[in-house]
Amino acid sequence: MTDSFIFLGREIPLYGIMSIAGIIVSAVCALFLARKRKNEFFDLLCSSVYVMIGAFIGAKLLFIAVSFEDIIALGIPMENVINGGFVFYGGLIGGAMGLLIYIKQFHMDYGLLEIYSAALPLGHAFGRVGCFFAGCCYGIPYSGFPSHIYTETVGMTPLNVPLLAVQLIEAACLLVIFSCLLIVFLWGKKRYLTPILYIISYTTVRFVLEFFRGDKERGVYWGLSTAQWVSIVLFLSTCIFLLVRSVRNAEKVKEEDKKLVSDISSNGV
Amino acid sequence: MGKGRVIAGFILTIVGLVLGLLGGLVAIASLTGLPVAIIGLVLSVSGGKAMKASGNPAGLATAGLVIGIIATVITAIAFFTCGLCVICAAGVSAAV
């Protein structure tokens, strides 16, 4: 299976094409969702600039952090480190930070978080298909369905060995997550549920699928991969946020009830 | 207010797009196209917000943003490679 094609004399990787396709479809989806919430197109565009820059910085920083020992040990030149190497979770966290900075700086509605979290899994699914074409993020040796044998690829992907197509499995899970988030966004009664559901569902899926990944060179610490540790941190952080928010809401309701009772008593009703 | 930044941003994003497309022929073009497109984007955001705040239309800023985002995506994906490929490839060559 080819992992690239030639365009204008330059070899363009299929991974890149799938990434572009993913960005386009999730951008169209975000536009559609923004219209539903009556967000302005201009605001969506401005926020996407912050998200892009944040995602790039986050993905690159996390890559350098998890690969620092290998970069030093293998003597990889800085130019190669800058050219290649991004980690999705770093991009997710960096992009979210970029969006929050935009919201705070221009006093925007947090509803933008809902739009991005609903559209992101769709683009991510395309990216995972790109990983399948490139042969990276490969699965454990497995000869049933779905599996694939790579005969030529880059890096340490085992060749001529049937590998579980974990990239396609993750892409399918992401499409399911996207479908569910779309339903919640369009017909859900509670606001701001979409980003929370996205974090909870994706971190769970990613944690489980990591056990079926064969590329252990990414780093394993105390039996779990870097992505699994990040999944745990994000999952727990979201649960703590929900707990704190529900305690605060409960206190707020109590205060309002007390005020109502005292108003009623003072009016002599 | 902000009109100058919007015009500058629009021009820079077009230049970034051209450089990004030329990157298919000359590798150095995509290297310079990315920062040019990003600067254009930042100027378009800043100028567009200022124009909207003063009640003026931000059509040119919107156009600059669209072109700049396209330029950034094309340039970045053509220039940067996949995930751990750099480390993996270096690891393989070190082992060999």
Q: Which two tokens stand for residue A200?
A: 């909870």
Chain mean pLDDT for chain A: 86
Q: pLDDT band at residue A240, thresholds of 50, 70 and 90? A: very high
In this prediction, residue A157 carries a pLDDT of: 83
What confidence category does residue A20 fall into, taking pLDDT thresholds of 50, 70 and 90?
A: confident
Tens-digit pLDDT profile for residues A32-82: 999 988 888 899 999 999 998 899 889 888 888 877 777 777 776 666 666
Exposure string for A181-190, b = 16+ CB within 10 A, e = fewer: bbebbeeeee
Per-residue pLDDT of chain B in tens (96 residues, 90 and over written 9): 688 999 999 999 999 888 887 765 666 666 788 889 999 999 999 999 999 888 888 899 999 999 999 888 877 766 665 444 444 444 444 444
- A217 and B84 within 8 Å at the Cβ level: the answer is yes
Reference B30, options A25, A172, A83, A168; nearest CA is: A83
Give the separation between CA A57 and CA A209, rounded to whole angstroms. 26
Identify all chain B residues contacting A41, using CB atoms and an 8 Å cutoff: 62
Distance in Å, alpha carbon of A132 to nearest chain B alpha carbon = 12
Q: How far apart are CA A256 and CA A253, in angstroms?
A: 5
B59 token code pair: 């059509």
Contact A85, A67 (CB under 8 A): yes
Interface of B with A (CB under 8 A): 23-25, 27, 38, 41-42, 44-45, 48-49, 52, 58, 61-62, 65-66, 68-69, 72-74, 76-92, 94
Name every chain A residue with its beta carbon within 8 A of the beta carbon of B65.
42, 45-46, 48-49
- Angstrom distance (rounded) from CA B41 to CA B9: 6
> Residues 6 or more apart from B73 whose CB is under 8 A from it?
A20, A23
Question: Is A217's CB within 8 Å of B87's CB?
Answer: yes
Please report, in angstroms and rounded to a whole number, the separation of the first and last CA atoms in chain B: 61
Q: Nearest-CA distance from A98 to chain B in Å? A: 13
Place of tokens 């933008």: A112
Q: Report whether pLDDT(A6) > 80.
A: no
Residue A242 CA from chain centroid, whole number: 19
Nearest to B80 by CA among B15, B11, B20: B20
- Phi and psi of A53, rounded to 5°? -65, -45
Which residue of B27, B76, B83 is in closest CB contact with A137? B83
Nearest-CA residue of chain B relative to A156? B88
DSSP state of A157: P
| R_g of chain A computed on alpha carbons | 22
What residue in B sits closest to A135 (Cα-Cα)? Answer: B85
pLDDT digits (tens, 9 = 90+) for A90-140: 989 999 999 999 999 999 888 899 999 999 999 999 999 988 988 888 899
Per the CB < 8 Å rule, is A85 touching B88? Answer: no
Q: What are the residue ranges spanned by the domains of chain A?
A: 4-39+109-266
CA-nearest of A177, A174, A86, A178 to A136 is: A86
- Chain A residues with beta carbon closer than 8 angstroms to that of B75: none
Query: Strand, helix or coil at A225?
Result: strand
Chosen from B25, B39, B88 to mutate, greatest number of chain A CBs within 10 A: B88
> B63 vs chain A: nearest CA distance in angstroms?
10
Q: Which residue has the tokens 């497309």?
A: B21
Strand-pairing partners, residue A84, are B81
User: By the 8 A CB rule, do A215 and A156 touch?
Assistant: yes
Per-residue pLDDT tens over the stretch A166-180: 999 999 999 999 999
Domain locations in chain B as residue ranges: 3-95
Contact A85 B85 (CB under 8 A): yes
What is this model's ipTM? 0.79
**What 8-state DSSP symbol labels residue A190?**
S
The residues that bridge with A148 in the sheet, in sequence order, are A163
Residue A91's nearest CA partner among A114, A126, A64, A61 is A61
Give chain A's length.
269
**And the tokens for B16?**
């970034």
User: Are the C-beta atoms of A93 and A58 separated by less than 8 Å?
Assistant: yes
